[in-house]
Amino acid sequence: WWAKRRDEKGWTRPEDIPPEERNYRSAMVLADEMKDAPCVVLALALPPGWANSVIPAAQNLMLAARALGIGSLPTTLHPHVMERFYALFGIPKEVSFHFSIPLGYPRGQFGPNVRRPTAETTFFQGWGAPPPWA
């Protein structure tokens, strides 16, 4: 991450990132700390057509992790590192990469799991009609 930012923007340390580029700070933290994750799941798809299963599988993995108090975050890899990534893990070229999902216990506590009531977000037999089970 840092090598690319150095080449593109001249940044070599966190203090170099200007306030108006604050989105880069989150990416910087992720890039710097991902190496410390106890587990990183690589979400890959085999041909033909298995890619449609990757997103639901990743979502279910992250929901299950959350239920166990484990944090997760779907991330991608920069196109410039894909060739090295495939070589590092010996992944065949026909296999497609979708996500890298670091898993680990968070430093602090998860925030509240706030959701709108089902009756406000799910309709039954017509727009605005809440389902009988809600």
Q: What is the DSSP string of 39-85?
A: EEEEEEEPTTTGGGGHHHHHHHHHHHHHHTT-EE--B---GGGHHHH
CA gap 126, 10 in Å, rounded: 55
| 0.85 surpassed by pTM | no
- Per-residue confidence at 38, pLDDT binned at 50, 70, 90? very high
* Residue 65 pLDDT greater than 90, yes or no: yes
Mean pLDDT of 47-65: 89
Mean pLDDT of 88-99: 94
- Per-residue confidence at 15, pLDDT binned at 50, 70, 90? confident
Helix (H, G, I), strand (E, B) or coil at 6: helix
CA gap 66, 113 in Å, rounded: 10
By the 8 A CB rule, do 67 and 114 touch?
no
Residue 102 contacts by C-beta under 8 Å, 6 or more apart in sequence? 34, 37, 39, 40, 72, 73, 75
Mean pLDDT of 37-63: 90
CA gap 134, 122 in Å, rounded: 8
99: which 2 tokens? 């996500």
Q: Which domains does the chain have, with CATH numbers?
A: 40-107 (3.40.109.10)
What's the pLDDT tens digit per position in 16-34? 888 888 888 888 888 888 8
Helix (H, G, I), strand (E, B) or coil at 129: coil
CA gap 45, 130 in Å, rounded: 37
Supply the pLDDT for residue 129: 92
